Structure 1
């Protein structure tokens, strides 16, 4: 069937629930992949998705709950028409970062898997309206797991969480009623070495609670504060430039920002040209083991944006206009940091050097109010002290090693 006419849309729905499939039946479509819009494959025996799943170019809904899938292929990003993905009740231990490229995704259901963390690039899904990751092994959450915190329902009940980020509570759960807030279940073993031990005083005396830190935070700073190293400072500043550029290029009138964009990116590229980045620990990009510095393509012509793309994420900016950076830096910048400074006057991205503070917050349930522990991340001691002013519910803590 010819779909070259934009007014003609494929509308084939496949109901393949409870069929005993042991593999994704892409081969059964026999050249009709472009006609499929919805596939129901619930309660089968599928253990993997094919790497050529992108052939389903018009697929809008994919239901795979109750299978035996342990990983999603990176090629899931090629399902650009996908609006609903249900992979609940599988054995997923991670979600690929490429999920952030499925920009039309509205419903993402990840319940009853074995996830220990969420990919940060889920935050690029501006169309997302429902994200559920209940009954997993999450031990921490990013400060902004979804892009639109006011119009996306986010569920994460019954995980290994003992604290939630202050920003997440402040923007999504503060003064809002929810039916359930069971965030904890028996703690799974963790290989992470960094643990914050909180001391909470109540009517029954003092209680010690251990909070697992995200593995991205390798330098936890407490009373013995030291400034971040030069690499951390560079990452923070570079990611700020990339994020600001993405926001500016996402406007309907980007031409007024062309000077800003060209000045910052060109300066960074010129600085990198003076470095010898040929080391054994960094993958090379050409046959001689050296990095190839490419000319950044211009996205403006006579002050007008040449691309039709209207919404940009930091990963788009890195992929398209920062090819001169080393691979390890591009990977970090595409994904972004798990945190940003909680000081409203700062909000710097925080990659590795982190200062924690903890406090108590309240969640309003239907029949009661429940107290929860909130974690706050800061880029410096100054920002931490400014945030703590006037707060009476700060929890003292110490950093311990996890044996």
Structure 2
């Protein structure tokens, strides 16, 4: 490879501070597969091209200090990528397909404009460091990382973040010390306006009572209140059941390293579902140009390595092709949370009952109180969880 001595060694591209206004993929002259590391810090790049997937052996990509507003979903095809640094840009959203980058160990997203995180981040079992400090995060997934104890998760200084999920606090912060002096968010005293559907908490502080508005995930469209209780839709119940089946099959694939389908597990209700969809004559495996969009599931991944685990989206794309595309997208991304009742754990998509309480996070030199949110599949589960806890009264505020 000849880069006019820009690169030493040849498989590592040191292109920091070069004034690039475009991602310099064209400079590789058809030798993209040789590159393992690219340094493009502090340039003027505003777009990452879809063709980045040609860098099939890329292991590290450093793009901090540019002007990038979004990443193409094709970046998920970089199956060898271990480190991705896009801090100091203007990212507003991450593609859901980021969950397919299963070699990723370090994901640095500090100083961007992100308001939420993809639910599929929890599919990244190799992830060891995830940082989303100094963004505009309004809520956190119940499980942002797969393993709380082997991945350092940092979300400091997201001023719009007022609460964290109870299970996230329970597994990451309960009786453990953080590596921070100041979280810089979760501050009851800071009252920025909520952007999505709001929940208003009434917090008693000594002789005073104050109100604070909480952002909720936009996916939680149907929120039950204390005086507003209604049953979940049949669609919600169907998604819960199908996702549980997907999770079950994915676990069996992982534990036994076998390639099988739901048909092997006597899921007669799913067989009936398939037959019903066949009557609608929906062929959701092809795009508008007639191209097959389904990649067959096999033991060998795109990087040539044997799959170490399977997730629900793998099973969905291989064995549930009969489902309409909008449902496959929702099931691939997974539920926003699971019921916080330890004896339930049912997936929760758009129908939810909330409860709130206080928890403590131990910093390096002090301790701080934070508001914890708990999501439930039903009022019954919520009432069970409330026993022995000092819950915070709340009321639902209509969309604005």
TM-score over 0.5 for the alignment? yes
TM-score normalised per structure 1? 0.87
Structure-1 residue corresponding to 2:236? 232
| Comparing 218-227 and 87-96, the one that deviates more | 218-227
Q: How does 1:82-161 map to 2 (within 5 A)?
A: 82-159=81-158, 160-161=160-161
Shift of 1:272: 2.8
Deviation by residue 1:235-290 (Cα, 9 ceiling, x = unmatched): 101100101111111114548xx5876235565144332247759xx9976799xx
Structure-1 residue corresponding to 2:249? 245
* Structure 2 CA distance for aligned equivalents of residues 41 and 175 of structure 1: 40
* Contact residue 202 and residue 212 of structure 2 kept, 8 A: yes
Structure 2 SS opposite 1:273 = helix
Shift of 1:298: 9.5
2:349 counterpart of 1:365: no
* Contact residue 269 and residue 324 of structure 1 kept, 8 A: no
* Contact residue 297 and residue 314 of structure 2 kept, 8 A: no
Structure 2 spans left out of the alignment, 5+ residues = 2-8, 300-304
* Structure 1 CA distance for aligned equivalents of residues 201 and 194 of structure 2: 18
Deviation by residue 1:276-307 (Cα, 9 ceiling, x = unmatched): 7759xx9976799xxx9x9x98979xxxxxx9
Deviation by residue 1:110-155 (Cα, 9 ceiling, x = unmatched): 0000000000111100000000000111000000000011110000
How many matched pairs? 378
Structure-2 residue corresponding to 1:50? 49
Deviation by residue 1:325-359 (Cα, 9 ceiling, x = unmatched): 11111011000011110000000000011000000
* Contact residue 217 and residue 352 of structure 1 kept, 8 A: yes
Structure 1 spans left out of the alignment, 5+ residues = 2-9, 301-306
Structure-1 residue corresponding to 2:19? 20
Distance 1:299-1:32 versus aligned 2 partners, 3 A rule: closer
Q: How does 1:230-379 map to 2 (within 5 A)?
A: 230-252=234-256, 254=258, 262-264=264-266, 267-275=269-277, 308-379=306-377
Structure 2 SS opposite 1:225 = coil
* Contact residue 261 and residue 319 of structure 2 kept, 8 A: no
* Structure 2 CA distance for aligned equivalents of residues 354 and 283 of structure 1: 32
* Contact residue 246 and residue 317 of structure 1 kept, 8 A: yes
* Contact residue 252 and residue 310 of structure 1 kept, 8 A: no
Q: Could you say what the CA RMSD is over the residues aligned between the two structures, in angstroms?
A: 2.7
Distance 1:228-1:49 versus aligned 2 partners, 3 A rule: same
* Contact residue 249 and residue 261 of structure 2 kept, 8 A: no
* Structure 2 CA distance for aligned equivalents of residues 202 and 250 of structure 1: 49
Distance 1:212-1:259 versus aligned 2 partners, 3 A rule: closer
2:209 counterpart of 1:212: no
* Contact residue 23 and residue 47 of structure 2 kept, 8 A: yes
Give the alignment partner of residue 392 of structure 2, picking from 372, 375, 395. 395
Structure-2 residue corresponding to 1:7? none
* Structure 2 CA distance for aligned equivalents of residues 297 and 18 of structure 1: 42
* Structure 2 CA distance for aligned equivalents of residues 264 and 242 of structure 1: 13
* Structure 2 CA distance for aligned equivalents of residues 376 and 173 of structure 1: 15
* Structure 2 CA distance for aligned equivalents of residues 165 and 95 of structure 1: 21
